[in-house]
Amino acid sequence: MTYSTRIVSVLAVLAALVLAGCSDDDKQAAATLKPLAVKEQASSIVKGDDGYVVNWAGVLANRNPWHFGEHTVATVVAKDASGKEVVRLDQPLDAVPPADSLSFSGHVVAAEKPATVSIQYRPAQWRQAGRIVSSFLPFPISDVLTDSKEGSYLITGYVGTPYRRPAESLAVTALLRDKAGKLLGGGSTFVEDVRAGEKRRFIMQIKSVADTGKVATAEVTARTWGSSSRPYEELAKGGVIPLHTVKPTTAPFAKDRGRSTLLSDSRP
């Protein structure tokens, strides 16, 4: 075996050991990640013109401070009184930011009357965030107005963005709660092209939640639309809008007041 052959062999062994170590580290890191937690969920059934409308809403919490939860799917199953499935639907959910939660909602029409509704979740895929948690700011919601009448609940308001780059698509979700804070159901809509310094109006008319007369509050949030963390990461990379954009009107100090002068120096 020549000298060069020995060097190549040693490098190959070292590379294999490094890869094996990285693989073990990755497996260990994945094993320490906590699964998404179901904070709350609710469903309701309303008789509609074309059948029975099944509405559901929920909140998933990500307890990991450095990872996005991606490609999560909620499977909604509704069964009739005999136990036969009348609805089975897979709903892809938006990515859940690190140390944060995701509100979601949906509805579907069933031809036969459901008796029970259940929601199950596929495990999330994890991706380490490229920024610290404080970089992923919430999208501000303002001027929310609600109106309940004739079995429907109307919600209007505005959504903005704290980021410099335009948000191409945001999912706006409203969770409806009674006076005690219990989740009754929800609704969702989308807004497009939300730019810095601007607001986009959203409108939701929710007709698929039973007993809308019991609704006391509408909890509205907005998220980047998509099952991966890429939209949120791209916004964070572009930076946030400065909080103070008005130039100071006072004259600058004659000298820097933050600097002190040593009166004496006893060093040799």
- Per residue in 52-110, pLDDT (tens digit) is 999 999 999 999 999 999 999 999 999 999 999 999 999 999 999 999 999 999 999 99
Beta strands in the chain (DSSP E): 37-47, 52-61, 67-70, 73-79, 85-92, 101-110, 116-121, 125-128, 141-149, 152-159, 167-177, 183-194, 200-206, 217-224
Minimum mean pLDDT among 102-116, 178-192, 246-260: which range? 246-260
Is the confidence at residue 143, as pLDDT, over 80? yes
Q: What is the pLDDT of residue 14?
A: 44
Against a cut of 0.85, is the pTM above it? no
Closest to 132 in 3D by CA, of 227, 194, 68: 68
Average pLDDT over residues 233-255: 80
Separation in Å, CA 167 to CA 37, 164, 170, 203: 27, 9, 7, 18
Q: Which residue has the higher pLDDT, 204 or 5?
A: 204
Measured in degrees and rounded to the nearest 5, phi and psi for residue 237 equal -65, -30
pLDDT above 60 (res 223): yes
Question: pLDDT digits over 17-29, tens only?
Answer: 444 544 444 444 5
Q: What is the mean pLDDT of residues 226-247?
A: 87
Using a 10 angstrom Cβ sphere, with 0-12 exposed, 13-18 middle and 19 or more buried, the burial of residue 33 is middle
Cα distance from N-terminal residue to C-terminal residue, the chain = 64
The percent of residues in the chain predicted with pLDDT above 90, rounded, is: 72
How do residues 202-217 score in pLDDT, each as one tens digit? 999 999 998 888 999 9
pLDDT digits (tens, 9 = 90+) for 169-185: 999 999 999 999 999 99
Please list, in sequence order, all residues whose beta carbon lies within 8 angstroms of the beta carbon of residue 245, skipping any fewer than 6 positions away.
none
Q: Are strands 217-224 and 167-177 parallel, antiparallel or unpaired?
A: antiparallel
Query: Rounded to an integer, what is the distance from CA 180 to the centroid of its chain?
Result: 25
Quick check: 11 pLDDT over 90? Answer: no
Residues contacting 66, CB < 8 A, separation 6+: 98, 128, 129, 133
Instruction: Read off the pLDDT band of 251 (50, 70, 90).
Output: confident
